[in-house]
């Protein structure tokens, strides 16, 4: 029970990595607020946490909107009385996104969700943590795409690279207040967001197998692989860790070019 007695807010918690984090944190003793834009997915996430014996609530909203970000934090505190951990997981992407081709609307949408969204929710969450005066932890779910370039992935690369440096900035600014800020940088993970990159006629299982062949550990990641990394950074086990990029990618970035 590494998060016993703590309260966590997980953005983008309705599916994929965010859902895995919410479920794991609840099993480790945290009370969890799950945020997202789609009510049915949030309701199912809360139900899954409850079936596992945990406690959760849904706080719907769009992280790219300041008023929604502020409300997410306020509703979490209203429900559970405090906020100890923030996981900035909400994200999106667009395919075929070279600088010369990507639509301006898509560029803005990706940056506003992946980078500005993390900034906004962190802004209000850290203010709450400062007011409480007992420290806290912020875990940003970034990507190996924030460390290296990928073909036709300009807005996503830019957003995650910015998120990695925002992580370091916040880590410096709030360390003296006992607030640790770290990033997890996953490689390819089997999630609905990743599956959304499929082209018509492609088979998802075949794609996963092809990607796995180029990963040193022999498989694509699971949401739970990332969730355990987030748990470490949210818990007291990482009490002397801040400002890092924890790469969780099966070894891709140490020996392989981008999978494509």
The single-letter DSSP state of residue 177 is: G
pLDDT of 199 reads 77
pLDDT of 54 reads 98
Q: Which residue has the tokens 């003793």?
A: 29
Dist. CA 97–CA 99, nearest whole Å = 6
Could you tell me which of 8, 244, 248, 21 has the C-alpha nearest to residue 121? 8
Active-site amino acid positions: 156
Q: Quote the tokens at residue 109.
A: 């949408």
Q: Is residue 259 part of a domain?
A: no
pLDDT of 196 reads 75
pLDDT of 260 reads 55
Q: Is residue 240 part of a domain?
A: yes
Measured over the CA atoms of residue 132, residue 137, residue 140 and residue 141, the dihedral's sign is negative
The residues, ordered by sequence, that sit 6+ positions from 217 with a Cβ below 8 Å of its Cβ are 250, 251
Could you tell me which of 184, 173, 6 has the C-alpha nearest to residue 91? 184
**pLDDT tens-place values along the chain, 260 residues long:** 999 999 999 999 999 999 999 999 999 999 999 999 999 999 999 999 999 999 999 999 999 999 999 999 999 999 999 999 999 999 999 988 999 999 999 999 999 999 999 999 999 999 999 999 999 999 999 999 999 999 999 999 999 999 999 999 999 999 999 999 999 999 999 988 888 767 788 898 998 999 899 999 999 999 999 999 999 999 999 999 999 999 999 999 987 566 55
Full strand arrangement of the beta sheet holding 7-10 = 55-60, 31-36, 7-10, 85-88, 136-141, 179-186, 245-248
Residue 200: CB atoms within 10 Å: 4
Residue 203: CB atoms within 10 Å: 10
Note down the domain range covering 196: 7-247
Helix or strand run (H / E) with residue 32: strand 31-36
Number of domains in the chain: 1
Q: Is residue 258 part of a domain?
A: no
Q: Is residue 256 part of a domain?
A: no
pLDDT of 256 reads 59
pLDDT of 95 reads 82
pLDDT of 194 reads 80
Q: Is residue 254 part of a domain?
A: no
The residues, ordered by sequence, that sit 6+ positions from 19 with a Cβ below 8 Å of its Cβ are 13, 34, 45, 48, 223
- The CATH number of residue 12's host domain is 3.40.50.720
Q: Is residue 165 part of a domain?
A: yes
Q: Is residue 81 part of a domain?
A: yes
Q: Is residue 260 part of a domain?
A: no
Distances (CA, A) of 19 to 104, 141, 197: 30, 13, 20
With beta carbons less than 8 A apart as the criterion, state whether 187 and 144 touch.
yes
């Amino acid at each position: 029970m590494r998060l016993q007695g703590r309260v966590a807010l997980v953005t983008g918690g309705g599916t994929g990595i965010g859902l895995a984090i919410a479920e794991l944190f609840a099993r480790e003793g945290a009370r969890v607020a799950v945020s997202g834009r789609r009510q049915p997915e949030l309701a199912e996430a809360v139900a899954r946490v409850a079936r596992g014996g945990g406690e959760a609530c849904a706080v719907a909203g769009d992280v790219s909107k300041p008023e929604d970000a502020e409300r997410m934090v306020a509703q979490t505190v209203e429900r559970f009385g405090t906020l100890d951990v923030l996981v900035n997981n909400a994200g999106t992407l667009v395919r075929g996104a070279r600088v010369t081709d990507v639509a301006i609307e898509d560029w803005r949408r990706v940056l506003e969700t992946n980078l500005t969204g993390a900034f906004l929710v962190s802004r209000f969450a850290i203010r709450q943590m400062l007011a409480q005066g007992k420290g806290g932890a912020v875990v940003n779910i970034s990507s190996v795409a924030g460390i290296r370039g990928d073909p036709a992935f300009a807005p996503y690369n830019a957003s995650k690279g910015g998120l990695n440096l925002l992580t370091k900035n916040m880590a410096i600014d709030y360390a003296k207040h006992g607030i640790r800020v770290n990033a997890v940088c996953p490689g390819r993970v089997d999630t609905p967001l990743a599956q959304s990159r499929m082209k018509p006629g492609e088979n998802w299982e075949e794609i996963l197998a092809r990607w796995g062949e180029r990963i040193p550990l022999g498989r694509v990641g699971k949401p739970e692989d990332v969730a355990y990394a987030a748990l470490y950074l949210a818990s007291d086990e990482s009490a002397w860790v801040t400002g890092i990029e924890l790469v969780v990618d099966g070894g891709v970035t140490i020996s392989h070019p981008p999978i494509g």
